[in-house]
Amino acid sequence: MGIIKVKDLIFEYIRRDEEGNVEGITTAVDDVNLDIRQGDFVSILGHNGSGKSTLAKHFNAILYPTEGTVWIDGRDTQQGEYVWDIRQTAGMVFQNPDNQIIGQIVEEDVGFGPENMGVPTKEIWERVEESLKAVGMYEYRKHSPNKLSGGQKQRVSIAGVIAMHPKCIVLDEPTAMLDPKGRKEVIRAVRALNEVENITVVLITHYMEEVIYSDRVYVMDKGHVTLQGTPREVFAQVDRLKELRLDVPQVTLLAHELKKEGIPIPDGILTKEELREALDVYRQNFA
């Protein structure tokens, strides 16, 4: 069994009036199955309201299934006794870094998690150092978080989660509030955690260009996983992605249009370099 296993998951938000009568039901996650292995880098894509955050909250025992089962590192999230183990196994990073940073100094902030877990003081400092280094923020350890850029703050939040030594980190649109530079910094840090530390990464985003490094991409729509595969397999389905209101990267769109014009280009081009290569091959053979 993988580090995150989801079987036949359904989650309903139930709205009630003042008397407690049911006014309406939203099925936010509808029959989802996932099996994510330790060390995987997985992305979840989907437009607003497709159910991404609701799904993610099940990975951290913030929400519990209406139907179906979620196991984190083999533990059923609905078994109350595992809540703290589960929250330590799967750390969460949210959209707004300002809501996640509580310390007055960067290194203090990163130390809060392990301190609450009862980690001995000496080890807390070791963890703070290693976590800040892992996200490239060690030189800012004595700074006030208020003065940092959005991308830097978000990397400090990530360090705070890493300091609790999770096996898995779930990031719910961590770059949504950042400028392009901040987004790049955060994605680079997340990739390093996966590649160097072998931490399982679940990255939720609606920026398609952020998912090209993942092992696997799941695309959600109306609570369902409607498309899944490697980034290349998913990006090959340009028309479907447009239907799902996702912004397909320009280079992928261009390759798709050229292909439609009859130029033999492989499906699912992800980068400018790949397109350049494909066009070079075409030029040598046909032009």
Which stretches of the chain bind ligand ADP, using CB under 6 A?
13, 26, 28, 46, 48-54
**Interaction partner, residue 121 (Mg ion, ligand ADP, none; CB < 5-8 Å by kind):** none
Please identify which residue in the block is written with the tokens 């039901």: 25
Phi-psi region of 74 (alpha: psi -120 to 50; beta: other; left: phi over 0): left
Computed over its alpha carbons, how large is the radius of gyration of the chain? 21
Record the tokens describing residue 136, joined without a space.
């490239």
6, 34, 44, 53: which one contacts Mg ion (CB under 5 A)? Answer: 53
Taking the complex as a whole, the smallest distance from the CB of residue 26 to ligand ADP amounts, in Å, to 5
Shortest Å, Cβ 16 to ligand ADP: 11
Q: What is the footprint of Mg ion within residues 195-234 (CB under 5 A)?
A: none
8-state DSSP, 61:
T
Residue 54 within binding range of Mg ion, rule CB under 5 A:
no
Residue 26 interacts, among Mg ion, ligand ADP, none and using kind-specific CB cut-offs from 5 to 8 Å, with: ligand ADP
Calculate the CA 245 to chain-centre distance: 19
**Residue 84 binding result from Mg ion, ligand ADP, none, given CB thresholds of 5 to 8 Å by partner type:** none
Does 194 bind Mg ion (CB under 5 A)? Our answer is no
Nearer to ligand ADP (CB atom), residue 53 or residue 200: 53
Helix (H, G, I), strand (E, B) or coil at 169: strand
- Please identify, using beta-carbon distances, which residue of 110 and 202 lies nearer to Mg ion: 202
Contacts of 250 (CB under 8 A, 6+ apart): none
- Measured from the CB of residue 80, what is the shortest distance to ligand ADP in angstroms? 21
Nearest residue (CB) to ligand ADP, 48 versus 285: 48
* Cα 266 versus chain centre, distance: 28
d(CA 250, CA 1): 38
Taking CB atoms, the residue at the shortest distance from Mg ion is: 53
d(CA 153, CA 202): 20
Nearer to ligand ADP, 100 or 131 (CB): 100
Query: Are residues 90 and 164 in contact, defined by beta-carbon separation less than 8 angstroms?
Result: no
- Residue 140 vs 218, nearer CB to ligand ADP: 218
In whole angstroms, how close is the CB of 168 to ligand ADP at the nearest point? 19
Q: Least distance (Å) from ligand ADP to the CB of residue 24?
A: 9
Decide if residue 50 touches Mg ion (CB under 5 A). no
Which DSSP state fits 108? H
User: Which residues face 203 on adjacent strands?
Assistant: 43, 171
250-275 exposure pattern, b = at least 16 Cβ within 10 A, e = fewer: ebbbebbebbeeeeebeebbbeeebb
Interacting partner of 13 out of Mg ion, ligand ADP, none (Cβ under 5 to 8 A depending on kind)? ligand ADP
In the complex with ligand ADP, the residue whose CB is nearer, 17 or 261, is 17
Q: How far is CA 151 from the centre of its chain?
A: 15
- 20 or 118: CB nearest ligand ADP: 20
Of residues 227 and 255, the one with the C-beta less far from ligand ADP: 227
Q: Are the beta carbons of 17 and 43 closer than 8 angstroms?
A: no
Does the footprint of Mg ion cover residue 95 (CB under 5 A)?
no
In one-letter notation, the amino acid at residue 103 is: G
Residue 263 C-beta: closest distance to ligand ADP, Å = 36
4-16/22-36 β-pairing: antiparallel
Can you give the binding site for Mg ion, defined by CB under 5 A? 52-53
